[in-house]
Amino acid sequence: MNPMNKKRERDEHLEQLWYMKEEGTDSMDVLKTNMEQGYDAAIIDELVSEGLVELKHQGNTITLTKKGRDSARQLIRAHRLAERLLHDVLGGDYESGACEFEHTVNPELVDSICILLGHPRTCPHGMPIPEGRCCRQSSRTAQSSVIPLVELEVAQSARVAYINCKSDQQLHKMDSLCIRPGAVVTLHQRYPTYVIECEGSNIAMDEEIVSNICVWREPQNFQPSEADTPGRKGRSYRRRGKFRHGKRGRS
Amino acid sequence: VGDKGKSKKDDNSSSSRPVKRIAIIGLPNTGKSQVFNNLTGEYTLVANYPLTTVEMKRSRCEIGGQICEVIDTPGLHCLYIHSEEELIVRDMIFKEAPDVIIQCIDANQLKQSLTLTADLLELGIPLVISLNAIDETARRGVLIDSDGLSRILGVPVVESVTADGLSTKLLKDAIGRASRGNWSLRYGEIIDEGISAIVSELPEKMSFKKKAAILLLLSDPFLADYLEAEYGEEKVAQLKGLVSRIRRRFRGNFGSAINKKRSQWIAQIAESTTKKHKIAPGEFSKVFGRMSRHPIFGLPILVFFLVTTYLLVTHVAGFLDSILSAALLDPTVEYITELLPSGFWNEFLVGDYGILTLGLFNAIVTILPILSVFFLMFGFLEDIGYIPNLCVLTKRIFEKIGLTGKAIMPLVLGFGCKTMATLTTRGLRSKKEKFIAVYLIAFALPCSAQMGIDIAIFGRIGFKAFMIGYGALLIIELCAGLALNKIIKGEEKSFFLQELPAIRIPSPKAIAKKTGYRLYWFLKEAIPIFIIAAVVLFLFDKTGVLDLTKTLMSPIVEGWLGLPRDIVDVLILAIARHEAAAGLTLKMVDTGALNYIQCIVTVVITTMFVPCFANVVAMCKQMGVKTGLAMAAAINTSSFILAGILNWILVFTIGR
């Protein structure tokens, strides 16, 4: 087995154990079923000897150790960020792409992507993306290209990059109103409640939903009066203190 | 899903005159009811906002020489369900398997509608598309190639300007050509294989298996419940196992994957069928829409509409009233008095509680002019699409009283008809919000008919009284909301996501027609009640029961509320029908039986006291009979207490 494949298989096991942790199970049987043909007892032994996983109850339950959790967390973070990037932002097909990604990148690159995307909190499937150091420091050294819709000025338009969404229902409802990655939205009003325009219809929504919609910072060409004069770019996107992005509560 | 549709089809084939079932389906506020009216020649209420239709409506008519049952439905976004209204529609489709579906699409919202089109094509029921409001898009410089759309989708597409009903014939022709269309979208290998795997596991006799399989993959909770009820837990557990195996293979969210494939399909279609011409977007309707929900300009606009309504109702209706009185009421009373000079029959017909004076003429001479003017104004506001904008203006206030998301729209709709508004609370998931919303709708919120009459009464004594009375009602409603929000526990918050209809210039003909129907319904329903109430009061009066009641109630009525004892008549009539009570109140104001303060207190108490019968029924339907009745009782008690407090406040501030 070549070393790259080996690393890949180890990673897959660690990721699967993280999924199981999220689902609240530690049964060996579940791991075996979930991994299907990919399950490899030799790899489990190796992980145990490196102190990444722990077997209990005569090998019937399996859990990640602290060290194991840290490794798995890095992998999951990279995987889910990649999904966000490929699926919503670049508009590609993530079914195949993202699976390979986490095995080849280093944490610095992952953090850069995270900053670029404005520290997304969920992957396109709605699963949480583990926080990185950059999120905790709400690093602004590299400018995010994606900002929450609440940070737009009234009457500004932007293209939706992705939607942070907890509930399937909410996502479906937004989708049926055409609020989806790639759609152009215009913020019309903030008070007493937010009103945005999307595909010709006006939609009223509360602040929580608006702050879950993330849009591309770059001005689009359809607003010639506002956009594309280099000197103004920074100004027209100036931040409102209240919604400063790094301060959003993240657990 | 199951066998019901099938057995009906069998019935059809054996009977000599098959009935074709046609379901009209579409997004909220896309003109479904208008198409229904055009096809069947009946009239259901139409307006420019979502949630106008909350219940299924059916009617039979002949189309192309065949008897058809046409079904009007509440709005549906897609077959994955967000709310209970939508669930009724999907259940109807799955259980009854209509022979033809007419999808109404608002041409302004082509993209949004195509999601539903995709769902309907996937079902495989013959489809016709009615592309409504095409005139508006043309004005906005957007041209839709309906022939191209028809070619791509493989179903007939009829362009229509629904408000005119011109295209009804075209639509009727198209129903005969309804087709299953071209549907060849693939979702990717894993999902497609998963779908076929689930389809083969689904019960034999189930219809729409493919769609059901997709919904199961999306973990639609309602469908699982349905299957469990129909085919037993075991089957569902087996299906759920299968679904989770497929999910694991896919390692992703089917929702976004499927939605994404579809949005690509939709974007492609929309792109190839719409052409945009540059037309300056700053037209009147857009600006007006924005103004009407603006935090600063919105308020003056609201006040402008209120004052206009006040002036119209007071002056125009008063004028009509005097004409009708002179032409109808006075001669009749004179004639009868001449014919039957005093005595039982005179009193029975034209006395204080006569069936003509308090019954028939009260309805026709006093109430009808008020309602016709008010409904014209209200219909105008409905059809320009103004009303939903109020939910933007009032959002913060509602938040304070515990209504966060979906509960706002029903409460705003309560100004139209409280019964319908109560029914729209069906969509609310949070028990707390539902309780507060149902209670507040029934409490100090005047419905459109009530408001028209209130305005007429206040009109007799001045605009200041109108401000005091409605200010008091507003404060009472807010306090009730605050109190309920404190008392009832529950932290669930629903999200607020509300489409606002585009502002349109309404057609005068449509408003006139709507007002006509509203008045016709009022006369049909109310006149018998008016007459019966008059007879009951007459009998009470003759037998002395009325006098006894007045004496018993006098500590409350005279002492606490500060009203004359004859107001008991008004309260009794209010139980029968609020409009009847208002007629009598107007008479008392005119004869000087009520002073300034008493007049305000009377309006406030009759607005709160006894929500109308239909509203109580709707409350029981939403909250259960016990809670519904308890609410009604609580509302009645508090209306007496609060009206009394108002009386004393007014006495101390304005003086007797």
**A188 in contact with B at a CB cutoff of 8 Å?**
yes
**B260 in contact with A at a CB cutoff of 8 Å?**
yes
Q: Say if the Cβ atoms of A192 and B252 lie within 8 Å.
A: no
Where does A50-184 have alpha helices with state H?
Answer: 66-83, 94-101, 107-116, 133-136, 168-176
Q: Please give the structure tokens belonging to residue B9.
A: 């089809």
d(CA B389, CA B383): 13
Task: Find the residue in B nearest to A20 (Cα).
Answer: B248
Least-confidence region, from B6-10, B195-199, B201-205, B211-215: B6-10
Find chain A residues with C-beta within 8 A of B78's C-beta.
Answer: 172, 176
Find chain B residues with C-beta within 8 A of A169's C-beta.
Answer: 82
**A35 in contact with B at a CB cutoff of 8 Å?**
no
d(CA B29, CA B104): 9
Q: Say if the Cβ atoms of B111 and A202 lie within 8 Å.
A: no
Give per-residue pLDDT as tens, B307-341.
898 888 888 888 888 888 888 888 888 888 888 87
pLDDT exceeds cutoff 90 at B472 = yes
Residue B251 DSSP one-character state:
T
Q: Identify which of A94, A176, A182 has the shortest CB distance to residue B115.
A: A176
Q: Centre a 10 Å sphere on the Cβ of residue A22 and count the other Cβ atoms it contains.
A: 11
To the nearest whole angstrom, how far is the Cα of A188 from the nearest Cα of chain B? Answer: 8
The answer to ipTM > 0.90 is no
Give per-residue burial for B608-645: e unless 16+ CB within 10 Å, then b. Answer: bbbbbeebbebbbebbeeeebeebbeebeebbbebbbe
Average pLDDT over residues B619-647: 90
Find chain B residues with C-beta within 8 A of A34's C-beta.
Answer: 248
The rounded average pLDDT for each run of 10 residues, N- to C-terminus, in chain A (251 residues) is 74 87 84 82 87 86 88 88 76 59 77 81 80 72 74 86 77 81 87 86 87 76 37 38 37 35
- Predicted model pTM: 0.73
Give per-residue pLDDT as tens, B108-131.
788 888 888 888 888 888 999 988
How distant, in Å, are the alpha carbons of A184, B484, B496, B622 from that of A198?
Answer: 6, 36, 16, 34
Where does B274-417 have alpha helices with state H?
Answer: 284-292, 298-311, 318-324, 330-339, 344-350, 361, 368-384, 390-393, 395-400, 408-413
Find chain A residues with C-beta within 8 A of B504's C-beta.
Answer: none
Task: Find the residue in A nearest to B221 (Cα).
Answer: A169
Question: At B57, phi and psi to the nearest 5?
Answer: -130, 135
pLDDT exceeds cutoff 60 at B257 = yes
Q: Say if the Cβ atoms of B497 and A34 lie within 8 Å.
A: no
pLDDT exceeds cutoff 50 at B11 = no
**A203 in contact with B at a CB cutoff of 8 Å?**
yes
Contact between B305 and B338 under an 8 Å Cβ cutoff? The reply is no
Could you say which residues from 612 to 631 on chain B have a Cβ atom under 8 Å away from some Cβ of chain A?
A: none
Find chain B residues with C-beta within 8 A of A202's C-beta.
Answer: 289, 499-500, 502
pLDDT exceeds cutoff 60 at B271 = yes
Find chain A residues with C-beta within 8 A of B396's C-beta.
Answer: 192-193
Find chain A residues with C-beta within 8 A of B79's C-beta.
Answer: none
**B400 in contact with A at a CB cutoff of 8 Å?**
no
Average pLDDT over residues B586-615: 86
**A170 in contact with B at a CB cutoff of 8 Å?**
yes
To the nearest whole angstrom, how far is the Cα of B604 from the nearest Cα of chain A? Answer: 29
Task: Find the residue in B nearest to A206 (Cα).
Answer: B496
Q: Say if the Cβ atoms of A205 and B498 lie within 8 Å.
A: yes
d(CA B194, CA B213): 8
To the nearest whole angstrom, how far is the Cα of B26 from the nearest Cα of chain A? Answer: 12
Closest CA to B137 of B310, B276, B323: B276
**B138 in contact with A at a CB cutoff of 8 Å?**
no
Residues listed for chain A: 251
Give per-residue burial for A123-149: e unless 16+ CB within 10 Å, then b. Answer: bbbbbebbebebbeeebeeeebbbbbb
Give residue A143's pLDDT.
61
To the nearest whole angstrom, how far is the Cα of A77 from the nearest Cα of chain B? Answer: 15
Q: Centre a 10 Å sphere on the Cβ of residue B286 and count the other Cβ atoms it contains.
A: 15
Task: Find the residue in B nearest to A91 (Cα).
Answer: B260
Q: Please give the structure tokens belonging to residue B234.
A: 């075991």
Find chain B residues with C-beta within 8 A of A193's C-beta.
Answer: 392, 395-396, 496
Beta bridge partners of B411: none
Name the residue with higher pLDDT: B281 or B353. Answer: B353
Where does B154-232 have alpha helices with state H?
Answer: 168-176, 189-201, 209-217, 221-231
Residue in A84, A205, A208 to test binding to B, most B beta-carbons within 10 Å: A205
How does DSSP assign B382-425, residue by residue? HHHT-GGGHHHHTHHHHHHTT--STTHHHHHHTTT-HHHHHHHG
Q: Give the side-chain half-sphere CA count within 13 A for A102.
A: 25
Average pLDDT over residues B514-534: 86
- Would you call B158 helix, strand, or coil by DSSP? strand
β-strand pairing of B127-132 with B100-106: parallel
Q: Give the side-chain half-sphere CA count within 13 A for B220.
A: 21
Find chain B residues with C-beta within 8 A of A195's C-beta.
Answer: 293, 392, 500
Q: Please give the structure tokens belonging to residue A44.
A: 């489990």
Average pLDDT over residues B86-105: 87
Q: Identify which of B108, B255, B496 has the shortest CB distance to residue A172.
A: B255
Give residue B6's pLDDT.
38
Least-confidence region, from B218-222, B247-251, B329-333: B247-251
**A34 in contact with B at a CB cutoff of 8 Å?**
yes
Q: Look up residue B451 and give its amino acid.
A: M
Task: For B447-485, give the secondary structure using H, E and C.
Answer: CHHHHHHHHHHHHHHCHHHHHHHHHHHHHHHHHHHHHHH
To the nearest whole angstrom, how far is the Cα of A141 from the nearest Cα of chain B? Answer: 32
d(CA B171, CA B39): 9
The alpha carbon of B75 is separated from its chain's Cα centroid by a whole number of angstroms, namely: 12
Give residue B102's pLDDT.
92
Axis crossing angle, helix B613-623 with helix B625-654, rounded to the nearest 10: 130
Give residue B24's pLDDT.
92
Q: Look up residue B340 and give its amino acid.
A: L
d(CA A58, CA B79): 48
Q: Say if the Cβ atoms of B248 and A175 lie within 8 Å.
A: no
Give residue A90's pLDDT.
65
Phi-psi region of A178 (alpha: psi -120 to 50; beta: other; left: phi over 0): left
E-assigned strand segments in B489-539: 497-500
Closest CA to B208 of B309, B333, B93, B351: B93
Average pLDDT over residues B121-143: 80
Q: Please give the structure tokens belonging to residue B560.
A: 């606490």
Give residue B475's pLDDT.
92
Give residue B53's pLDDT.
75
Find chain B residues with C-beta within 8 A of A95's C-beta.
Answer: 188, 190, 250, 252, 257
Q: Identify which of A191, A192, A208 has the shortest CB distance to residue B495.
A: A208
The enclosing H or E element of B88 equals helix B84-96
Name the residue with higher pLDDT: B386 or B46. Answer: B386
Least-confidence region, from B96-105, B254-263, B355-364, B536-545: B254-263
d(CA A215, CA B391): 26
